[in-house]
Amino acid sequence: MELTKEQFIRDFKDALHEEQLIRVADATPTELFQALARTIRKYITPMWLKRRNQLVEDKQKIAYYFSIEFLPGRMLETNLLNLGILEVIKDGFDELGIDFTSVKRAEHDMALGNGGLGRLAAAFMDSLATTGYPGFGNGIRYRYGLFKQKIVDGYQIELPDDWFGSLGNVWEIRKDHDIVDVKIFGHVYLSVNEDGRVVPVYENSKTLRAVPYDVPQIGFENGIVNNLRLWDVEIPIEHEMGYPTIEERRKITDITAILYPDDSSYEGKELRLIQEYFMTSAGLQTIIKSYLKQGLPLERIHEKVSVHINDTHPAVAPAEFLRILMDDYGLEWADAWNATVKTMSYTNHTILSEALEKWDAELFKSVLPRVYQIILEIDHRYVAEMAARGVDASMIEHTRIVKDDQVHMAHLAIIGGHSINGVAKLHTELLKEDTLRDFYAIYPEKFNNKTNGIVQRRWLQIADEPLSKEIDQVIGTGWRKDIHQLRKLLDYKDDQQVLADFYRVKQEAKERLARFIAETTGVEVSTNAIFDVQVKRLHAYKRQLLNLLHILKLYWDLKDNPDKDMVPRVFIFGAKAAPGYHFAKSVIKLINEVANLVNHDESLQGKLKVVFLENYRVSLAELIIPAADVSEQISLASKEASGTSNMKFMMTGAITLATLDGANIEIKDEVGDENIVIFGMDKDEVYRHYEQHDYYSRALYEANPTIRRVVDSFVDGTIPNVRNEGSEIYEALITHNDEYFLLEDFESYVAAQEKIDQLYRDKEVWARMSLINIATSDKFTSDDTIEQYAQEIWNLER
Ligand code: 26W
């Protein structure tokens, strides 16, 4: 948009003076942020309205991305960048004597997500608007975001993330005219009405009022504003007498109170099922209503509407869609089913069996009696159709929706939709060959891959402004609009000056992070050290513990030989553990205690430092990632569906130290073998162990003195101030046979780390690797990922 500095200053002062009655000089950063956000909202509103009217007028097809998590982080700077007014606003603030950075930091992260899945959903919202496709989000407006992590005495403590504060979310707009009712519980029987139609009759069900709040999603310099719709629950006015007790009222408002803090593990909790149904039903009801306003027949809704199921959390969608089409609008099964399958599509984000949602049939039936009836009918028809097609009976049994008194949500999503995709090449292969093998045999045409991506604008232009400016110097600014121009950097891979400049920019980012580390943890780190970073959710399969084993190995090396020739290292961790995930919490404690051990040991001569940064989140990632030399992507091969931080590190010039897992493989394909450091078993070797049952961690432990010494450190008093945590780790590794094969990968990990050490010694070599990583990271722009979803799955036009 066009905006002059003078106009902005007038608008901003109006917002501050008239709406908040404050003078610039007196305002706190939070007040300034509020005024700025309100000013921006005024700029956005006309574009937002125009977009909606245009889509209605053109009867364009819209894709709706249903996700139980959206993790945008801070929105201010992205919004300004995408509107094309970031520089104008910064200039305006300079003139007013306001520090932009402190204002931007006053915004609380919007943390309605756990990790990769939620962050990806937010990235897709940005890319949908940027590519200009009509794609809207549908999720939950949680009162509290993902818990805030504090580290106390080395332990994780969880505090509520009161992200609304007293001021609420400035970006959202409540939409009363789209309020709908959602029914849960009670009993349902079928009856024949006057027209001779079979209709469900509900008894004793509870009605929830679903209230939508819309958050604008602004495209990059294209004037397009899409919509992210988040649902809140309220007590329906006309039913107020039906919910007399405070307890019952609280039960209702609890539905949107908290985001479940579990990442990669699933618990069949009633409240979670209600959350999932609540946002799915509310979203589908309003989508169908707005489609009908166009005066088109419901049988053809799939021509104008796509519904995407992000992981299984909204996978009740096919059944709910059928229910609405039949019960509320009188469609026959065949027509309703045809429209449903053509409307729905599903992405799988994990092969970990503990993360695949299956609901206890009794629970499901008690919460969603009518939907359960419909699911039974879908299941019944599926079994009959497959039998008629001559599909093998055991295969039918494996793939049906309801079996062993459980409702298999992934099965519903696959049977009830036309597309199922994985999130990286390897992951999709594993789905086809292993996890969903029988489905692949039945519906090969439904399977496809969509490798994840990241929003380059946030991770390069915003989070790494100094690097962005350096890139401008070398190849001009065209890459800011067309990320593929980054490849032009490859022409400079032997240019000493360019390499030196990039190296310097990285050092400066490290200095900024070093200051932050000193301020927040009191640990002094040298920027001559390799900044070796692992930031992601704490999970056994991600193997933060393998990283720690290597740190202990270095510790013992240095204790034995203080003059060991090594480049100093700073190991930086950031990770939240699910509050009920005992093992993960023990690993956090141990990282912190190893940090205490090494950071205060003078004999190590500062060659080894360990830092755990608390409360890892999007805004902290924006500080950490640009400062990384080494990106640790060390999950056991086959376990990490894709990973997306790996792409962010690559884009800001870190060297990836990785197993052949998830998108690491595709990163390797882009940068070439010489510009990444790979170690460990590949997925075939891992699977071979599973098939042959021939993994014995104790044998590895007994045969290898280095492993023994490192593992013993957990139980022999080496690490101070620990209780049972050390022996728990020891038992996981030795007694319980090391589920994620850390010990088998240990030696090759150590060798890979030694290679990193050697490579880093030659600044030019390192800077060249780094430049090649940056130059080829365009491969992972989420704009391209969305382009593929739009063309190949949703069939959208822009
Ligand atoms: C029902 C509980 C639950 C919670 C989280 C089930 C499943 C999950 C997912 C595993 C969460 C998740 O974030 N998965 C990640 O998705 C990213 C985006 O596709 C991938 O990059 C990560 O590899 C994958 O772990």
Annotated catalytic, 648?
yes
Domains of the chain: 1-58+76-108 (no CATH), 60-74+112-452 (3.40.50.2000), 456-780 (3.40.50.2000)
**Cα angle vertex 33, ends 30, 39, to 5°?**
145
Give residue 540 CA to ligand 1 midpoint distance, Å: 14
Catalytic-labelled residue, pool 143, 542, 553, 585: 542
Report the nearest-CA residue for atom 8 of ligand 1: 264
Q: Which pLDDT score is estimated for 484?
A: 98
Give residue 352 CA to ligand 1 midpoint distance, Å: 9
Q: Which pLDDT score is estimated for 742?
A: 98
Ligand 1 pocket member 123 (CB < 6 A): no
Give residue 436 CA to ligand 1 midpoint distance, Å: 17
Ligand 1 pocket member 355 (CB < 6 A): yes
- Which has the closest alpha carbon to 553: 765, 727, 761, 757? 757
Mutate to test the pocket of ligand 1, among 263, 267, 635 (most ligand atoms within 8 A of CB): 263
Ligand 1 pocket member 341 (CB < 6 A): no
Report the nearest-CA residue for atom 16 of ligand 1: 117
Annotated catalytic, 59?
no
Query: Is a pLDDT exceeding 70 seen at residue 477?
Result: yes
Annotated catalytic, 515?
no
pLDDT greater at residue 235 or residue 442: 442
Catalytic-labelled residue, pool 308, 349, 427, 607: 349
Mean pLDDT on 628-647: 98
Q: What number does the ligand 1 atom closest to the CA of 115 have?
A: 13
Mean pLDDT on 508-526: 98
Q: What number does the ligand 1 atom closest to the CA of 119 have?
A: 18
Q: Which pLDDT score is estimated for 265?
A: 83
pLDDT greater at residue 337 or residue 267: 337
Q: What number does the ligand 1 atom closest to the CA of 114 have?
A: 13
Ligand 1 pocket member 262 (CB < 6 A): yes
Annotated catalytic, 644?
yes
Quote the pTM value. 0.98
Q: How confident is the model at residue 571 (pLDDT cuts 50, 70, 90)?
A: very high
Element (H, E) at 188: strand 187-192
Mean pLDDT on 470-499: 98
Ligand 1 pocket member 230 (CB < 6 A): no
Query: Is a pLDDT exceeding 70 seen at residue 241?
Result: no
Ligand 1 pocket member 117 (CB < 6 A): yes
Ligand 1 pocket member 116 (CB < 6 A): yes
Q: Which pLDDT score is estimated for 354?
A: 86
Q: What percent of the chain has pLDDT above 90?
A: 94
Q: What number does the ligand 1 atom closest to the CA of 662 have?
A: 23
Annotated catalytic, 289?
no
DSSP for 18-87, please give it: IIH---GGG--HHHHHHHHHHHHHHHHHHHHHHHHHHHHHHT--EEEEE-S-EEEE--HHHHHHHHT-HH
Q: What number does the ligand 1 atom closest to the CA of 427 have?
A: 23
Mean pLDDT on 174-191: 96
Element (H, E) at 5: helix 5-14
Mean pLDDT on 206-229: 97
Catalytic-labelled residue, pool 537, 543, 550, 639: 537
Q: How confident is the model at residue 325 (pLDDT cuts 50, 70, 90)?
A: very high
Give per-residue pLDDT as tens, 680-689.
Answer: 999 999 999 9
Ligand 1 pocket member 350 (CB < 6 A): yes
Mean pLDDT on 404-425: 98
Q: Which pLDDT score is estimated for 508?
A: 98
Dihedral sign computed on CA atoms, order 677, 683, 689, 690: positive
Give residue 331 CA to ligand 1 midpoint distance, Å: 36
- Which has the closest alpha carbon to 424: 646, 264, 642? 642
Ligand 1 pocket member 69 (CB < 6 A): no
Annotated catalytic, 5?
no
Q: What number does the ligand 1 atom closest to the CA of 347 have?
A: 19
Query: Is a pLDDT exceeding 80 seen at residue 167?
Result: yes
Give residue 437 CA to ligand 1 midpoint distance, Å: 20
Q: Which pLDDT score is estimated for 240?
A: 53
Give residue 120 CA to ligand 1 midpoint distance, Å: 10
Q: Which pLDDT score is estimated for 197?
A: 86
CB crowding 587-623: b at 16 or more within 10 Å, else e: bbbbbbbbbbbbbeeeebebbbbbbbbbbbbbbbbbe
Q: What number does the ligand 1 atom closest to the CA of 356 have?
A: 6
Mean pLDDT on 433-442: 97
Give residue 616 CA to ligand 1 midpoint distance, Å: 17
Q: Which pLDDT score is estimated for 700?
A: 98
Ligand 1 pocket member 154 (CB < 6 A): no
Specify the long-range contacts of residues 331-337, CB closer than 8 Å, at least 24 apart: 331/298, 331/299, 333/377, 335/298, 335/299, 337/378, 337/381
Query: Using CA atoms, how far apart are residues 770 and 651, in angstroms rounded to an integer?
Result: 9
| Mean of the per-residue pLDDT values of the chain | 97
Measured CA to CA in angstroms, residue 97 lies from 6, 100, 352, 502, 517 at distances of: 14, 9, 52, 31, 28
Query: Is a pLDDT exceeding 80 seen at residue 19?
Result: no
Measured CA to CA in angstroms, residue 626 lies from 393, 461, 504, 529, 531 at distances of: 54, 11, 12, 15, 11
Give per-residue pLDDT as tens, 443-468.
Answer: 999 999 999 999 999 999 999 999 99
Ligand 1 pocket member 131 (CB < 6 A): no
**Quick count: other Cβ atoms within 10 Å of Cβ 515?**
11
Ligand 1 pocket member 452 (CB < 6 A): yes
Query: Using CA atoms, how far apart are residues 113 and 119, in angstroms rounded to an integer?
Result: 7
Phi, psi of 740 (to 5 degrees): -105, 25
Catalytic-labelled residue, pool 119, 365, 553, 648: 648
Q: How confident is the model at residue 184 (pLDDT cuts 50, 70, 90)?
A: very high
Mutate to test the pocket of ligand 1, among 347, 349, 785 (most ligand atoms within 8 A of CB): 349
Catalytic-labelled residue, pool 644, 718, 781, 785: 644
Ligand 1 pocket member 633 (CB < 6 A): no
Which range has the top average pLDDT, 192-206, 231-245, 603-617?
603-617
Dihedral sign computed on CA atoms, order 30, 36, 41, 47: negative
Q: Which pLDDT score is estimated for 238?
A: 64
Ligand 1 pocket member 113 (CB < 6 A): no
Give per-residue pLDDT as tens, 75-124.
Answer: 999 999 999 999 999 999 999 999 999 999 999 999 999 999 999 999 99
Q: What percent of the chain has pLDDT above 70?
A: 99
Q: Which pLDDT score is estimated for 242?
A: 63
Q: Which pLDDT score is estimated for 559?
A: 98
Ligand 1 pocket member 778 (CB < 6 A): no
Q: Which pLDDT score is estimated for 247?
A: 86
CA 222 from chain centre, in angstroms, equals 25
